[in-house]
Structure 1
């Protein structure tokens, strides 16, 4: 059956989820998970939660799904060692460096790839398999056809979100909260700026970035038939009553092989919704109907009271057991209890006596032993062999049953024996002494002028589709002695891979040998086509272990996360050449939903549209590959006057990222970074390089 994975932000929520039929729960403890604002758990609470769950046949997944610095990895290794020792069943991870650390320190602990890894194609899934991941959580933007295709061909288990909040941006690619407010979603402290008001004119008067919660109620059998291994419910920040209601509805439907009823759907909406639910991505129906906001409504007290009763009033969840008894003359009474995993325990009691009045019968023994009320067990089958003419007090049978079930409980919570090794960061690479070369990326081939090429940048990243469509631009760069690399789309679904492959083949025929990839799927595809691939900022390079793992995977270079401070970039051990973003409008979001089309009903993506917030800031919204949108920062990152600061970081390259600039402006920017001219943007930012990101 499809595993149902429920959220738990507290011990009360663990109880609520387990008693309402969750197949597994997920929670975090320590500061290394994507809901750092949730209550989370102490080590003692986590151990108690694992025992509570395992006793009742429920698995536990630990969230370790944030980007970590080198200094934090040692602490994360200790959390992982403790998690492995107490029997956590899997750990959910975003950071490639954390995966590397886990493979070294707790090699027997299964790793699940978080949705924060932005895995949205079979190529991405296969690369996760190469990383030792046993299950991957797909991006929430995928349609049922895309999910079905991946499940059909995946070498590892697939998990999908089935109910709960939807982010406007692809998970793992959102920098809105960190760039605007210094609170990083990739570090577990998203401030949810997407839930605020924005507008298209001069007034922020609507909610174009606030999606309704998703609900795949009504598609459970379909998901199971596809081969989805696990259905995930979102909501670690939600109250225990919510967890009880949502888990209970989905688990009953799955157990009974049906879809939720109309009454249950109404209860889901009462528990939490943003003007109803959406199945837009799953059904391939993107558009304005997918959006909604939380409305202030009266708390559904009666529903919550019913929900509390499911987990506050004793054991509602019963693990099936089989009980066998043997009562014969001259021998101690014996029983055996077997659970569904095949564990068997034995208990021995007093020797029966000759019956003076009413002898013990098989029916009486079986009836007495099957009384498991008040325990987490339900007697599925009981078989007794009772010799005639014997007597045994019922209290002795009760004691035998109790003794056997207690022994079984002890066995069920014994953690598995797993290896544990110390964490060794490994060899440290010395920083290069020379200052970084200047590279640049463009959104449009028209930004590449003869004047720009005359300034001899070290490398130009040109969007793959632009390069394939404009071979003369590629040839002009090559004649000027400026190498070109293919800038790969940040999002590329399986249905779009053929188009990307055609573009890359055309570029390869033109002599282009390098590519820049921001997600694992496109990186794998480009490598298969023979390109040398550099990693972009979308891969979340936050620590030295990630760089080492990218090298192991065949990457020839990487880009430091722009959520790092300059000092942290300096301290990275650079086992492959590293560059950083030194100029440009930082990308805040990449969205599957075209908000421009939602607003105008037309595809006017070729223009630069601007989203305005409550403070009057204007966010450029530009077309991304595949009819998607990118929302850019209003202020341009500008560091030309800080070259002394980044020249000493040991970087191979400093990238100028051109988005909305005209061709002449691109020239002026490059000149300024080369130490000439006086260009400075009207409104600029130093990004996050000089301030702490939470």
Structure 2
């Protein structure tokens, strides 16, 4: 028999938590403190969090804490202490994004269940299995995964798989978006996303009333049966920033669909859309489809459905929609303390009361006792049955029976909310290793074969990064005193891996001896190939402990997150040789949808792994915002799109980047001509100022 998935509801506030629980959630996820991906939600105070745990655990609902943001070295101790405290209180699991926090949690709190947040960008079986091997109990998949992708991961991964079934869709893969950070200094990876994707843009033209980055909300209410069949363990609904009434409505409908094993009615779909939608819903990612019909907006003056919300609120505020069935067994014997056992199907507790007295007038009956035991109103329990044995000619005050019932329910509550035993181990010390350098060697990454010129190689880059799909088209590489490194696609699927391995074999024949790892799932592809592994920016390395984690995974260097300030890069303990991007258009987004295809049509087969170099996606394309800023659009593997920043990062005339302890400093070439690549390389070697518009990135201002 197929088991029903757990229904996981958002709890952005105590009221939303109550709405979720009362309407049938099997678990809730919530934030406490500064380290969660919805820092603008109301979230919970310490006392509210403790109360939430008791409230949920009494009713059989699990509680997951979100600690799913990137953390600096200074923030890690506080985040770890938060984890220790909630572990002691009995939280059921913690969602994590940051590799450093993940490393510390599994070493210092080894019995605390960890869930890999969708911010970890896991979308393949290899990535899921990698996290499972590292101790994750559950993997939250990318929202872009199709039914086919998800079924493959469920078959291949030994741990639980969680899928987003309802709510907002980000345009960029979670964990890979830097648009809000680079444009406004508010990092989505730090829980401060300003949602620039909901603004108007133009593709290859001025922004008017087009919203090419604003996806409709996801709704997979019709797919729950298929998910259960394929082995999905948990269905997650988005909405920690939404109203409690919204949480109540979507939770009630999805819980009912799971319980009754059916698809939604037209009326239920209408309620879901009334509660919140952006021009309706989409299920196209799940169906393996892409295109302009997935996009929609919500008018600024959109009104909440007053009657629907009022009905939802009045229902959950009574706090009696969700009660725990209890079976009572009472024994009232002459000469012995009265006893009451309460059972909930998992726990059984027994309490005792006074010794009954001999009856003076009327004898106590079993029916009277049973009637009093059934009076559980105002509690989280309801009496399912009451079996009472009473000896003849005995008397017991009603107050004693009531006290017996209260004591039994209190004991049952204590059993249901008991904290499991968990070890707390000492915090490990950072390895006594220092891989910092007095000055970094320059490396370069290219996006096209044309950028690999004799002039560029003559400048002596220590390492040249080349996309794997570009290497696949080459018959040879120029002879040069440099290390050739393949950049694997940032996004791919299980079905692509045979081809990727063939391309890697070809790259090795060309003389490529290293690979850039930008996603944890790439490790399973690269192991056994005898190639040096270098961490790329997609891993979001934000602290020293992230370097420790990657060092233990066999990486030989790692590129630091470009959301770090220069001083933060400097202060990291370099237990692994560190690299940073010091020039180039920084990537703002990588999207499953091809923006060129949606905007003006490119008529290419998106099932093809690569985009032909003479295709429309390779011509100069851009996204233009309301200020006139133009963000170049580059084609990415699998007919996806990578959005680049409108201005290049320029630090050549600022020598500070040379004093951060970096082993390598990367020049990232994207839209540059071959000649421009050479000019930039020489400018960095000579420390020249920029020509034209540029940005200092986040090296000085950092992010929230």
- 1:373 and 1:255 mapped to 2: Cα distance? 25
More moved, 656-665 vs 306-315: 306-315
Whole-angstrom CA distance in 2 between matches of 1:438 and 1:357: 97
Contact 1:560 1:580 in 2 (8 A): yes
Is this contact kept in 2: 1:64–1:93, CA < 8 A? yes
Deviates more, 1:35-44 or 1:139-148: 35-44
Tell me whether 1:313 sits opposite 2:318 in the alignment. yes
> Could you tell me how far 1:645 is from its partner in structure 2?
0.8
SS of 1:71 mapped into structure 2: coil
Question: More displaced, 258-267 or 130-139?
Answer: 258-267
Name the residue aligned to 2:163.
160
Partners of 1:433 and 1:279 lie apart in 2 by: 50
For residues 255-294 of structure 1, what are the structure 2 equivalents within 5 Å?
Answer: 255-294=259-298
Q: CA deviation at 1:378?
A: 2.4
How big is each residue's C-alpha offset from its partner over 1:181-225, in whole Å with a ceiling of 9 and x where there is no partner?
000000110000000000121333310000011011111111111
**Within 1, Cα distance between the matches of 2:385 and 2:282?**
43
Instruction: Report the 3-state secondary structure (helix = DSSP H, G, I; strand = E; otherwise coil) of the residue aligned with 2:352.
Output: strand
Residue 377 in 1 paired to residue 381 in 2?
Answer: yes
Kept in 2, the 8 Å contact 1:328–1:352? The answer is no
Q: For residue 180 of structure 1, what is the aligned residue in structure 2?
A: 183
Out of 330, 344, 352, the position equivalent to 2:349 is 344
Write the mapping of 1:100-499 to structure 2, written as runs, cut at 5 A: 100-200=103-203, 201-295=205-299, 296-351=301-356, 353=358, 357=362, 360-361=365-366, 363-387=367-391, 392-427=396-431, 429-430=433-434, 432-472=436-476, 474=477, 476=478, 479-499=479-499
Query: Which residue does 2:535 correspond to in 1?
Result: 535
1:498 CA displacement: 1.5
Tell me by how many angstroms 1:393 deviates: 4.9
State yes or no: 1:563 paired with 2:563.
Answer: yes
RMSD: 1.9
| Aligned partner (choices 623, 627, 631) of residue 615 of structure 1 | 627
1:462 alignment partner, SS class? strand
Conservation of the 8 A alpha-carbon contact between 2:21 and 2:322: yes
Aligned to 1:461, what secondary structure does the other structure show? strand
Distance 1:431 1:486, change over 3 A: closer
Label 1:499 to 1:679 Cα distance change in 2 as closer, same or farther (>3 A).
Answer: farther
Report deviation, 1:356: 5.1
User: Which residue number in structure 1 is paired with residue 638 of structure 2?
Assistant: 626
Residue 70 (structure 1) aligned with residue 73 (structure 2): yes
How far off is 1:680 after superposition?
Answer: 3.3
* Separation (CA, whole Å) in 2 of partners of 1:616 and 1:39: 35
> In the aligned structure 2, how far is the partner of 1:427 from the partner of 1:125?
27
User: What is the CA distance between 1:606 and its match in structure 2?
Assistant: 1.5
**Alpha carbons of 1:576 and 1:357: their partners in 2 closer, same or farther (altered >3 Å)?**
closer
The answer as to whether partners of 2:364 and 2:390 remain within 8 angstroms in 1 is no
- Aligned partner of residue 74 in structure 2, secondary structure: helix
Q: Secondary structure at the match of 1:324?
A: strand
The aligned counterpart of 2:670 is 659
Query: Structure 1 residues 374 and 514 mapped into 2: Cα distance closer, same or farther (>3 Å)?
Result: same
1:517 corresponds in structure 2 to 517
State the Cα distance separating 1:653 from its structure 2 match: 0.7
Quote the offset at 1:359 in angstroms.
Answer: 6.0
Which of 677, 684, 687 pairs up with 2:697?
A: 687
| Pair 1:5 & 2:5 matched | no
Matching of residues 39-54 of structure 1 within 5 Å: 39-54=42-57
Partners of 1:273 and 1:202 in 2: how far apart?
27
Distance 2:699 2:364 in 1: 84
| Alpha-carbon spacing, 1:20–1:347, altered in 2? closer, same or farther (3 Å) | farther
* Cα offsets for 1:277-330 (capped at 9, x unmatched): 110100112111110001233321111111111221132211122221223344
Q: Distance in 1 between matches of 2:199 and 2:377?
A: 50
Q: Distance in 2 between matches of 1:314 and 1:467?
A: 62
- Whole-Å separation in 1 of the counterparts to 2:620 and 2:527: 33
Q: SS of 2:686's equivalent?
A: coil
- On the 8 A contact 1:425/1:545 being kept in 2, the answer is no
Q: Which residue of 2 aligns with 1:589?
A: 589
8 Å CA contact retained: 2:200, 2:625:
yes
Q: Deviations over 1:153-180 (max 9, x none)?
A: 1111111111111000000000000000
- SS for the counterpart of 2:662 is coil
Provide the residue aligned with 2:554 in structure 1. 554
Give distance in 1, aligned partners of 2:421 and 2:215: 44
Task: For 1:471 and 1:349, locate their aligned partners in 2 and report how far apart those are by CA, in whole Å.
Answer: 92
State the match for 2:660 in structure 1. Answer: 649
Q: Could you tell me which of 658, 668, 678 is aligned with 2:679?
A: 668
1:93·1:111 contact (CA, 8 Å) conserved in 2? yes
* Mapped contact 1:323–1:369 kept (Cα < 8 A): yes
- Give the Cα–Cα distance (whole angstroms) in 1 for the partners of residues 375 and 354 of structure 2: 18
**Residues 513-522 or 598-607, more deviating:** 598-607
> Does structure 1 conserve the Cα–Cα contact (< 8 Å) formed by 2:9 and 2:251?
yes
Render the CA deviation track for 1:72-95: whole Å, top value 9, x for unaligned. Answer: 111111111111111111110000
Cα distance in structure 2, aligned partners of 1:367 and 1:502: 74
Whether the 8 Å CA contact 1:368–1:397 is kept in 2: the answer is yes
Q: Is the 8 A contact 2:547 2:576 kept in 1?
A: yes
Secondary structure of 1:522 counterpart:
helix
Q: How far off its partner does 1:484 sit?
A: 0.9
SS of equivalent to 1:307: helix
- Contact 1:331–1:352, Cα closer than 8 Å, also in 2: no
User: Partner residue of 2:609?
Assistant: none
- Unpaired runs of 5+ in structure 1? none
Query: Hey, what's the Cα distance between the residues in 1 that align with 2:372 and 2:668?
Result: 76
SS at match of 1:91: strand
Q: Cα–Cα, structure 1 residues 352 and 623, in superposed 2: closer, same or farther, change >3 Å?
A: farther
Q: Does 1:92 align with 2:95?
A: yes
